[in-house]
Amino acid sequence: MKALVCDVDGTITDNRRRINTDAIICIRELVDNGVPVVIASGNTTCAVDILCKMIGTRGEVIVENGGAIRAGFDMDLMVLGDQEVCWEAFRVIEEHFATRGKKLTLYSPQYRFADVAFARNVDVDEVRRIVQDLPVKILDSRFAVHIQSDGLNKGEALKKIAPLMNLSPEDFLAVGDSSNDIEMLECAGIGVATGNADRQTMDAADYIVGKKYGDGFVEAVSKYFISPFLAYSDQQLHNP
């Protein structure tokens, strides 16, 4: 494999959403030896940027669950989603639950460009039924409910960011744990689910590691990139 794309929450964290330190070492080792690492998250660009800076990647990101991409810190953010239709759907959902005395809590609306996200304090299946006739889809990341315009996901975003990096999706190892990672695992050359992944995600993966969360991520990278703690020669990188 020539590159890596990975989810954040549940994939390079522990069960308390703390970043796994071995996962950081693993990613740094890859980047320092010329392997591009794309961070793919449902979070905002500014939040993922801080993570990329602290970990030490070059800023290649898929954010808002495929709603926007950027092929490096020195590149412009490309917004792929139609946020207006998401806001229209949110207003319908908000009005529905307001009649029951329930208030929806938005997550970082001022920093989102493609989707709308809110707290998981309402039934997600009910949310899906409310907007089933609208041109949106509802994603449950297990940390938030996301409203996205149709046709967007991390897999479609990978298809768009890969050529900007002079790569193809088949060049990537993808690692994830949740249903919002499924298309990414299917699109990549090899898709790996961590041991804490849900059943749908495991079914979509080419391989399932035994370990969970960040330890599972390190196990996956060790399997397909020899070892996260070993340097990689040019020959290994260009002849996977």
Half-sphere exposure (Cβ direction) of 214: Cα atoms closer than 13 Å: 18
- What are the residue ranges in the chain where pLDDT is below 50? 228-240
Strand order across the beta sheet in which 172-176 lies = 78-79, 68-71, 60-63, 37-40, 3-6, 172-176, 190-193, 207-208
Q: Is 198 a catalytic residue?
A: no
Residue 141: its pLDDT value, please?
81
Residue 37: its pLDDT value, please?
98
| CA-closest candidate to residue 118, choices 176, 40, 42, 178 | 42
3-79+152-238 CATH pick, 3.40.630.30, 1.10.10.60, 3.40.50.1000, 3.40.50.1370: 3.40.50.1000
Q: Where are the alpha helices (DSSP H) in the chain?
A: 21-32, 45-55, 83-98, 124-130, 154-164, 182-187, 199-204, 213-224, 234-238
Residue 49: its pLDDT value, please?
97
pTM: 0.90
Beta partners for 207?
192
Q: Say which of 7, 9, 49, 115 is annotated catalytic.
A: 7
Residue 143: its pLDDT value, please?
83
Q: What are phi and psi of 211, to 5 degrees?
A: -85, 160
Beta partners for 193?
176, 208
Residue 232: its pLDDT value, please?
36
CATH second-level architecture of 83-149?
A: Alpha-Beta Complex (3.90)
Q: Give per-residue pLDDT as tens, 89-106.
A: 999 999 999 999 999 999
Range(s) within the chain of domains with CATH label 3.40.50.1000: 3-79+152-238
Range(s) within the chain of domains with CATH label 3.90.1070.10: 83-149
Residue 227: its pLDDT value, please?
55
Match 């990978």 to its residue by tokens: 158
Distance CA 1, CA 220 (A): 12
| CA-closest candidate to residue 154, choices 136, 141, 135, 171 | 141
